[in-house]
Amino acid sequence: MTSLHPTNAQRSEGTAAAPLAIELVGINKHFGPVHANRDIHLAIRRGTVHGIVGENGAGKSTLMSILYGFYTADSGEIRVNGTPAHITDSRHALALGIGMVHQHFMLVDNFSVLENVVLGAEDSAFLAPTLNKARTQLKALARDYGLEVDPDAIIENLSVGQQQRVEILKALYRGAETLILDEPTGVLTPDEADHLFRILGKLREEGKTIILITHKLREIMAITDEVSVMRQGAMVKTLNTKETSPGELAELMVGRRVLLRVEKGPASPGKVLLDVEDLVVTDDFKVPRVKGVSFQVRAGEIVGIAGVAGNGQSELLESIAGMRDQLLGTIRLNGEVLSLEGDDGAARARAAGLAHVPEDRLRMGLVTTFSEWENSILGYQHSYGSGAGLDIAKARATAEEYIKKFDIRPPNLDLKTANFSGGNQQKIVLAREMERNPDVLIVGQPTRGVDIGAIEFIHNQIIKMRDAGKAILLVSVELDEIRSLADRILVIFDGKIVGEADPATADETELGLLMTGSHAGDVGTVSEPGTLAPHETPVQQTLTQMSPQDNSGKDPNQ
Amino acid sequence: MTPLPRWADVVLLPLLNVVLAFLVGGLIVLAVGQNPLQAVGIMLYGAFGYGSGFGYTLYYTTDFIFAGLAVSLAYHAGLFNIGPEGQAYVGGLGVILLGLALNGAHWAIVFPLMIICGGAFGALWAFVPGYLQAKRGSHVVITTILFNFIATSMMGFLISRVLKPVGVNSDESAPLEAITRVPQLRTFIELFKNSPVNLTFFLAIIALFFIYWLIWRTKFGYAVRALGQNPVAANYAGISNQKMIMIVMAMSGVLAAMVAVNNVGGVQGRLILNFVNGAGFVGIAVAFMGRGHPVGVGLSALLFGILYQGGQELAFQMPGITREMIVTIQALVILFTGAMGDMLRAPLARLLARSSSPTGAK
């Protein structure tokens, strides 16, 4: 993708000649009984892109937080440009030229780009001189690194990719020589990710150092010069990217061999179990997010909905699951119309045989302050005990069974759910929803923030459900995941299904373009404005009345 | 930050807070030239030392248990009910109306009906803020405070203009006959002579057990806690947030109204102005200090009972310590256990984390 920088060649010679931007020596960090970082040694060469991979809880974030001054290491030394530094806070880190782009952006939504860039770095009590200076510098930065953003645009009107560029600009404006990027592509479209990598390439050419934390091995292979693998708080190995493979990295991360591809047989779709017709759903602010969506899911097939986050997927899932009232449309489950009005619609959806693995397990799928067994019955609490009392023994037996079947670790049903890792939390949710033998399973982002080892397991469980004749609706922003799991792909953009594709033959670029609405209408268009039949349908009428505003660039979860 | 172990959270932390409050209170006593140790001694003697004093302590404790449980139950559902004061006050209307209607009947019949009728009035007074929260999004903190004021004005009007019998000078309702009143324990137990503690005390103990069962052993309690900890997850689980909010607020009002059964039915035998006398507000401190757990609520209600009764003894015995100073000490306890209740949490967690050896558990 990008030509390798000379320093890369220097490094390949195996000499220590290339100057080190950052050096971590013997870093240790404990959180109570948890040893989050164990004697970490890491050398990051100036002018390189250095990847750090590892499962959740491997200690990557802790390590970077120590480097960025959020935490102080219990022992060990940080050297910046060869000089030992005791970094006390993020301001100090910035002064040393270390900037961070967080996974969740730290931007003020109703400020302009310029105001966000100077926020906290104002030169004087008056804003105008700082803003003028920043405007000039921003222009230079945009020119040098391809970081084009309108300085006067308001953050909330920018796409996620553009917001990320603002975060990078913020760091560069403050003089960052080393940039830490934490899971930068999690919220980006493939196209935006490519753009980001071009920017990173430019930054490297200009001599900046980049530390890239990610769990996507493809990105590591594409952009990094060196990659360090962490496991269980320890640094396992630092490798030359050119001399390694995704398989090797995955194995190092997990500590055993991992199947990166999902193995599944062909689908044998049966009768229609989930039938969604002309569904219109609004968000909390009464803005339509799902704008007339129709599709069917048959028994024994996985239908994947691909799209950039914030294009109505969340509202679609929540509406089918009974959590969000639908404005128009019909949802049929097994031929029966589901009536989901009211704020206890989810109970009726469940009773009808629908299980829901929500997109955001922490916000929705779990009560994290509950113990494990309590979450094992969330949504099904009514079937535990005949009268008013809760049959705790039965609930605990259920939890015990799930822990065994889904290999939930640690196998402690009294442990607070917040203390499980992301993958194990997701297993708690999956076990609860899958083991109820539902007819229809709707799954949102099944592997978001989940370790590689658990991803394999979760994917296999979903396939197993399919092969058992369940209808599965899968929503994911990970195109790879949709492609490897789904039997049919529907692409959603701006609340509408803009195309359908066969995962076996679908072209990534084509899908990417569909997902960004670039050329809706090429592949099996379902509905496109402008080409409507002369008489308006009720759906269109309603949408027109509500004068939908364009919110496609915004992710409500941000 | 690593969380505190349960025992430290429930027992140690509140205990430390109380000790801290007493230390600061002791400094104040010292500052006015009195002996703090002597003061504590008098306080404890006043609260436990003799039958009548002990009876008063239990009487106050009864009020505080109900008010504390009212706040706790709502809090488990994520609702901050600041209105037990008003709910208890309005509950008193239900108690006296029922009592006067059946005036002369035996208490064995009237007592359960007082509970029901008083509870219904308290429930109604709490239900309205609950309804407004559920359906209109008006925050219960605001509405319950407002409802306290409305209760004060409304009850003042009703007592002085409607319920006051002709020819009576003070603002109060007609009295209940002795046989109709909730019997005081001194009629059975000699020890409690001259003290107002009555059968409602046992109702409070039952309520403690009942609320424990309700919150941790029933499907309803499960739903309440799910709602309180994560409303979105509760919605996901098919629990109707709106219904739950209204039901829980009404139940909270029932608990608060039991303060009225204790006072109107068991002590005054009539409805007087401002009989709640701040017990509803103390309930907030009791609930927070007790961490919403019935065991904690029971213990902290007892502590406040001691503070109230022992404090009066203290003001009486040590002329150097005025009534205002007692209130100051009580306020210190509320300050340290309620508002600053988490002040020691982080240091304590660090201390415990350091002393416990790494177990490797994640």
Per DSSP bridges, beta strands A34-45 and A178-182 are unpaired
* Closest CA relative to residue A147, chosen from A161, A129, A132: A161
Give residue A501's domain range: 272-545
Chain B nearest-CA distance from A278, in A, is 23
Residue A111 inside a domain? The answer is no
Task: Verify whether the Cβ–Cβ distance B362 to A388 is below 8 Å.
Answer: no
Which candidate from B218, B239, B360 shows the least CB-CB separation from A344? Answer: B239
DSSP letter for B218, please: B
Residue B344 gets which letter from DSSP? Answer: T
In B, which residues are within 8 Å of A31 by CB distance?
2
Q: Contact at 8 Å (CB) between A178 and A211?
A: yes
State the nearest Cα–Cα gap between B337 and chain A, in angstroms.
22
Residue B14 domain flag: no
pLDDT of residue B150: 97
- 10 Å CB burial of residue A81 (0-12, 13-18, 19+) is middle
Q: What percent of chain B has pLDDT over 90?
A: 72
Least Cα separation, residue B206 to chain A (angstroms): 17
A312 within some domain: yes
Q: Are A331 and A276 in contact (CB under 8 A)?
A: yes
Q: Which of B168, B153, B167, B173 is nearest to B96 (CA)?
A: B173
pLDDT score of B149 more than 50: yes
A39: left (phi over 0), alpha (psi -120 to 50) or beta: left
- 8 Å CB contact of A379 and B236: yes
Please answer yes or no on whether B237 and A388 come within 8 Å at the CB atom: no
Q: What is the C-alpha separation between A77 and A89, in angstroms, rounded? A: 15
Q: Is the ipTM of this complex over 0.95?
A: no
Evaluate whether residue B31 is within a structural domain: no
Q: Is residue B28 part of a domain?
A: no
Q: Which of A322, A350, A365 sits opposite B233 (nearest CB)?
A: A365
Number of domains in chain A: 2
* Pairing between β-strand A301-306 and β-strand A288-298 as defined by DSSP bridges: unpaired
Three-state SS at A191: helix
| Contacts with A23 (C-beta within 8 Å, 6 or more apart), sequence order | A42, A43, A44, A78, A79, A82
Q: Is residue A338 domain-shared with residue A461, that is, in the same domain?
A: yes
pLDDT computed for residue A174 by the predictor: 87
Are A292 and A422 in a shared domain? yes
Residues A242 and A280 in one domain: no
Q: How far apart are the C-alpha atoms of A413 and A402, rounded to whole Å?
A: 10
Are A476 and A527 part of one and the same domain? yes
* Sign of the four-CA dihedral A123, A125, A129, A133: positive
Question: Which residue from A32, A347, A388 is facing B353, i.e. has the nearest CB?
Answer: A32
- Domain for residue A402, yes or no? yes
Number of domains in chain B: 1
Does residue A68 sit in the same domain as residue A1? yes
Which residue has better confidence, B218 or A10? Answer: B218
Residues of A with CB under 8 A from a CB of B: 30-35, 57, 321-323, 342-350, 356, 358, 363-370, 374, 378-379, 381-382, 384-385, 388-390, 392, 410, 416, 419, 421
Segment B238-289, tens digit of pLDDT: 999 999 999 999 999 999 999 999 999 999 999 999 999 999 999 998 998 8
Q: Mean pLDDT across chain B, nearest whole number? A: 92
Q: How far is A383 from chain B (nearest CA, A)?
A: 9
What CA–CA distance (Å, rounded) separates B160 from B272?
A: 9
Query: What are A146's two structure tokens?
Result: 């391809």
Task: List the one residue out of B305, B304, B284, B303 whose CA is nearest residue B72.
Answer: B284
Question: pLDDT value at position A11?
Answer: 41
Nearest CA in chain B to A71: B1
Name the percent of chain A in helix, strand, coil, to the closest 5. 35, 25, 40
Q: What is the torsional sign of CA A201, A204, A208, A213? A: positive
Would A377 be classed as within a structural domain? yes
Reported as a single tens digit per residue, the pLDDT across B79-135 is 999 999 999 999 999 999 999 999 999 999 999 999 999 999 999 999 999 999 999
CB < 8 Å to A374, chain B: 222
The answer to whether the CB atoms of B235 and A346 lie below 8 A apart is: yes
CA angle A362, A364, A366 (to 5 degrees): 60
Give how far Cα B126 sits from Cα of B74, B77, B145, B229, Å: 10, 14, 11, 21
Min distance B63 CA to chain A CA atoms (Å): 28
- Quote the pLDDT of residue A104: 76
Instruction: Give the contacts of A144 (CB within 8 A, at least 6 positions apart).
Output: A202, A206
As a whole number of angstroms, the distance between CA B186 and CA B180 comes to 16
What's phi and psi for A178, nearest 5 deg? -120, 125
Same domain flag for A217 and A308 = no
**Cβ–Cβ of A33/B232 closer than 8 Å?**
no
CA distance B294 to chain A (A): 18
Which residue range is the domain that position B158 belongs to?
A: 41-181+194-341
Q: Reduced to 3 states, what is the DSSP secondary structure of residue A237?
A: strand
pLDDT at A541: 64
pLDDT for B338? 73
Q: Provide CB contacts within 8 A for A356, sequence distance 6+.
A: A317, A320, A321, A346, A349, A350, A433, A441, A442, B236
pLDDT score of B186: 92
B335 within a domain of the structure (yes/no): yes
Query: Strand A272-282 and strand A98-101: pairing?
Result: unpaired
Q: Which of A233, A248, A263 is the last residue of a domain?
A: A248
In this structure, the answer to whether residues A339 and A225 fall within a common structural domain is: no
Length of chain B: 362
Q: Do A366 and B230 touch (CB under 8 A)?
A: yes
Residue pLDDT tens, chain A, 558 long: 444 444 444 444 444 456 899 999 999 988 777 788 999 999 999 999 999 988 767 888 889 889 988 888 889 999 999 899 888 888 889 889 999 988 778 899 899 999 998 888 777 778 888 888 889 888 888 888 878 888 899 998 888 888 888 999 998 888 899 999 988 887 777 778 888 898 999 999 989 999 998 877 888 888 999 999 998 889 999 999 999 988 888 888 877 776 667 788 888 899 999 999 999 999 888 888 999 999 999 999 999 999 877 789 999 999 999 999 999 999 999 999 998 888 999 999 999 999 999 998 888 999 999 999 999 999 999 999 999 999 999 999 999 999 999 999 889 999 999 888 888 899 999 999 999 899 999 999 998 878 777 888 999 999 999 999 999 999 988 888 898 899 999 999 889 999 999 988 888 778 877 887 765 444 444 444 444 344 456 666 666 665 444 444 444 443
Q: Tell me: do A282 and A370 sit in the same domain.
A: yes
At A425, which CATH number?
3.40.50.300
3 state DSSP class of A265: coil
Report helix, strand and coil shares of chain B as percent, to nearest 5. 75, 0, 25
Q: Do both A373 and A505 map to the same domain?
A: yes
Residues A223, A343, single domain; the answer is no
